[in-house]
Amino acid sequence: MDTTMRAAAFLDKGGVGKTTTVAHVGVALADKGYRVCLLDLAGKQGDLTKHFGLWQQAKESDDWPNITTVFQDEWDTIADQLPDAVDQLIMPTGEGPDLIPAHEGLDGLESLLGSIDDPSDRYARLDHFLTEYLDERYDVLLLDLPGSTSNIAYNGLWAARHVITPVRAGPFEQEQMSQLEADLDEIRAGQDIDINLALVLINEYDERKTIDRDLFEQLSSEYAEVLAPEQIPSSQDITNAQQNGQTVFQLEQPSQTAQRALAAYREDAHELVGRMAPSETEIEPEASQS
Ligand SMILES: Nc1ncnc2c1ncn2[C@@H]1O[C@H](COP(=O)(O)OP(=O)(O)O)[C@@H](O)[C@H]1O
Ligand SMILES: [Mg+2]
């Protein structure tokens, strides 16, 4: 494969399933033979890193360089003088994908990035790092972004161009989708780059619930092009596995619901790759059609 595919999980809201989605889609793609790297950019609490049981190890391992280093002015010099700088950032998850863990200093990056006047530099640092140092190693890069608009989130969206958005049925999801489109429009307009919603998936979907069916109907009409082929059921196995530092792919005896979740993740991951593949016609985001 000559072009690395990149996608970022983003919605200006916590607790919808961004981290869980990145982990499971990542493992599904690695299972299919893609070389996958996951980047935990969602904040210093390291949720994605914890999802693979690596948080303690990440904190104890040699602290520098780390994910925050790649955003700093000196990064290229560091990478130049320290030939294994990139290797030092990467940890194998043991489930297929590699991982670049979060770091305590992530939240402090906000002010560093905020102090850069030129937006084409402020928002492009991650893109530069991925292009120069990771693209050659991987087929797929998946970014877990903060559940809020921030300079790091903008860096992730700028670098990924493809957005994965899990939504959960609830009173505000319509507002969240409008906010998402506004956020993407802002970057598109300000920076003259195209960012596509590539995959919208309903998380913790239960077709027996009216609120879930209604959301499905609504997204099927408004986001027909980008709605995932399979929605993800709520499964206690997912929560439990996560607390044990694993995805449900590792369970020896997944429950029936977990098996449905696994099949859905595989199908959605396959679809995502089809939508990101450079040979495919790019999907027009709804927001730019109106
Ligand atoms: N399909 C699911 N079934 C059961 N629990 C889930 C599912 N998806 C996510 N969760 C749980 O919901 C919580 C929030 O998910 P998370 O992926 O951390 O959301 P976000 O990254 O958007 O904040 C976590 O505790 C996770 O274990
Ligand atoms: Mg998260």
What is the pLDDT at residue 174?
86
What is the pLDDT at residue 186?
87
**Ligand number, closest to the Cα atom of 15:** 1
What is the pLDDT at residue 286?
46
- Mean pLDDT, contiguous 10-residue spans, the chain (290 residues): 88 96 98 98 97 96 93 97 96 98 94 93 96 97 96 95 96 90 88 89 96 96 96 98 98 98 98 83 45
What is the pLDDT at residue 148?
92
φ and ψ of 221, to 5 deg: -90, -40
What is the pLDDT at residue 212?
96
Centre of ligand 2 to C-alpha 164, Å, is 13
Q: CA–CA separation, 114 vs 151, rounded Å?
A: 7
Centre of ligand 2 to C-alpha 43, Å, is 8
What is the pLDDT at residue 172?
86
User: Which amino acid belongs to residue 211?
Assistant: I
CB burial of residue 225 (10 Å; 0-12, 13-18, 19+): middle
Q: CA–CA separation, 4 vs 277, rounded Å?
A: 9
Tokens of 201: 């998936």
Q: CA–CA separation, 161 vs 276, rounded Å?
A: 9
Sheet holding 36-40, edge to edge: 91-92, 98-100, 36-40, 140-144, 5-9, 162-167, 196-205, 232-233
What is the pLDDT at residue 290?
39
Atom of ligand 1 nearest to the CA of 232: 1
Ligand 1 contacts CB of residue 16 (under 6 A): yes
Closest CA to 24 of 212, 278, 260: 260
What is the pLDDT at residue 288?
45
Please give the domain boundaries of the chain with CATH numbers for all domains: 5-276 (3.40.50.300)
What is the pLDDT at residue 194?
86
Q: Which residues of 173-186 are buried (b: 16+ CB within 10 A; e: fewer)?
A: beebbeebbebbee
Dihedral angle computed from the Cα positions of residues 132, 138, 139 and 145, in that order, rounded to the nearest 10 degrees? -80
Closest CA to 89 of 54, 122, 47, 58: 58
Ligand 1 contacts CB of residue 151 (under 6 A): no
CA-nearest residue for atom 9, ligand 1, is: 17
Three-class SS state of 91: strand
Q: CA–CA separation, 233 vs 141, rounded Å?
A: 25
Tokens of 130: 């991925």
